[in-house]
Amino acid sequence: MSLPPILTTTDEITEFATELEKHQVIAVDLEADSMHNYQEKVCLLQFSTPQTTVLIDPLQGADLAALKPVLANPRIRKIFHAADYDIRCLARDFDIEINGLFDTMISSQFLGEERFGLADVLRKYFAVELDKQYQRADWSKRPLSEAMIRYAAGDTSYLHQLVENLEGQLIAKGRLEWVKEEFMLMEKVRFMVHEGPLFLRFKGAGTLNRRQLAVLENLLQWRDTEAKRRDTPLYKVIGNKTLLQLAKLSPENQSSMQKVEGLSPRLIERYGNALLQQITMANEIAEEDLPTYPRGERRLKDPQIEKRMNRLKDWRKQVATELQLDPGVLINNALLDEIARKQPRDQDELAEIVLLKNWQRQVLGEGILQSLS
């Protein structure tokens, strides 16, 4: 099978966008380099019409603006598998928005598939084996190997056939409207712009005292600067678990650093002095200037709320079993907790729970109210 063309110029992409406008359905995917560079970026885009597959290389400097109206047009269906990350990347890197989404992973979940990764789904429906070795490849390197090009093309080439199968099943089960609402919500996802101390986005920071928190923040700031200097992901400098241990133990010298899990002799030799400097600086911060981890209002345990929550979970388990769905796909714990606390008494009060989706209210509403009554 011949390799798909790779478009690299603005003129080629503009001409291709005109061609895409003639189709009612296109399959889309992308490859990024999050495992290999400090600031991840889209390195390759894949498009499949029912007849052909074309790749676009955005790293060659071409303008992708011609694709915007096509991808934003809700009358042209865009098939993705696991669109969440792709939609965020396209919006961030190219100001491209997706309308008319059909996500085959979400569809698989709503059909009760236990394994819904693309490789698993293609294996089940088409006996196709995807070569997973390129999932973690560095897609920012050029030239791309022939094997990588074939792998990228394979991600979209079966999606048209897959949709025909999945959509038919969703219609038969009466769940097409459910996933359509999920698709519309997915179209709106974007990367959040984070501000403030880095420890606010660090798992485990809430377990530290104020002094340890100051140490952690210094270490995080240092790691961010070092990763940026080396143009490498944060975890390739020093892992999170190791930084947390350093913040808790605050070693005073390189010898005591050897007790820190994950801090190898090579890392101590390379970064030991810099890490000790950050720890010392944090330990010299005046007590009144130490950072504080923000704590939400602590909810007191309410036996009645817990009782309602348990009833809702029992009800959810029964319904999920009947529908052959994962309970978390049906309705997640956070939403159940809100329902248990607000205790809606009728459909109008149920409608006031903002995070409850329309399909959930229509399909599950009566069961929720009965469980609470």
> For the residues of 181-234, what is the DSSP string, one character each?
HHHHHHTT-------S-GGGGSTTGGGS-HHHHHHHHHHHHHHHHHHHHHT--G
CATH 1.20.1250.20 fits 6-187, yes or no: no
Q: What number is the average pLDDT over the span 282-304?
A: 88
Q: How many whole angstroms separate alpha carbon 10 and alpha carbon 184?
A: 30
Residue with tokens 């042209």, as numbered in its chain: 76
Query: Which residues, 6 or more positions from 74, have their beta carbon under 8 angstroms from its beta carbon?
Result: 99, 100
Per DSSP, the three-state class of 255 is helix
Neighbouring C-alpha atoms within 13 Å toward the C-beta of 129: 2
Beta-bridged to residue 54, according to DSSP, are 47
Are 350 and 365 contacting, i.e. CB atoms less than 8 angstroms apart?
yes
Percent of the chain past pLDDT 70, that is, above it, reads 99
In this predicted structure, the answer to whether residue 131 has a pLDDT above a threshold of 90 is: no
CATH 3.30.479.30 fits 303-372, yes or no: no
Banded pLDDT at 133 (limits 50, 70, 90): confident
Are 180 and 76 contacting, i.e. CB atoms less than 8 angstroms apart?
no
Neighbouring C-alpha atoms within 13 Å toward the C-beta of 1: 12
In this predicted structure, the answer to whether residue 347 has a pLDDT above a threshold of 90 is: yes
Phi and psi of 315, rounded to 5°?
Answer: -60, -45
Q: What number is the average pLDDT over the span 331-350?
A: 95
Q: What number is the average pLDDT over the span 252-280?
A: 95
Sign of CA dihedral 207, 212, 214, 220: negative
Distance of CA 240 to the CA centre of its chain: 19
- Residue (of 314, 294, 301, 303) closest to 371 by Cα position: 314
Beta-bridged to residue 6, according to DSSP, are 55
Identify the pLDDT of residue 70: 98
In this predicted structure, the answer to whether residue 300 has a pLDDT above a threshold of 80 is: no
Q: What number is the average pLDDT over the span 164-188?
A: 98
Identify the pLDDT of residue 132: 79
Query: CB count, 10 Å around CB of 309?
Result: 17
Q: How many whole angstroms separate alpha carbon 334 and alpha carbon 117?
A: 25
Neighbouring C-alpha atoms within 13 Å toward the C-beta of 9: 3
Structure-derived torsion over alpha carbons of residues 64, 96, 190, 38, reported in degrees to the nearest 10: 0
Identify the pLDDT of residue 362: 95
Lowest mean pLDDT among 15-29, 150-164, 216-230, 289-303: 289-303
In this predicted structure, the answer to whether residue 371 has a pLDDT above a threshold of 70 is: yes
In this predicted structure, the answer to whether residue 297 has a pLDDT above a threshold of 70 is: no
Distance of CA 261 to the CA centre of its chain: 28
Banded pLDDT at 190 (limits 50, 70, 90): very high
Q: How many whole angstroms separate alpha carbon 46 and alpha carbon 3?
A: 13
Query: Which residues, 6 or more positions from 176, have their beta carbon under 8 angstroms from its beta carbon?
Result: 167, 170
Domains 198-284 and 303-372 share a fold: yes
Where would I find the beta strands (DSSP E) of 278-331?
A: none
Q: How many whole angstroms separate alpha carbon 238 and alpha carbon 206?
A: 20
The residues spanned by each domain of the chain are 6-187, 198-284, 303-372
Identify the pLDDT of residue 1: 64
Identify the pLDDT of residue 298: 67
Identify the pLDDT of residue 2: 86
CATH (residue range 198-284): 1.10.150.80
- Residue (of 197, 227, 220, 232) closest to 278 by Cα position: 220
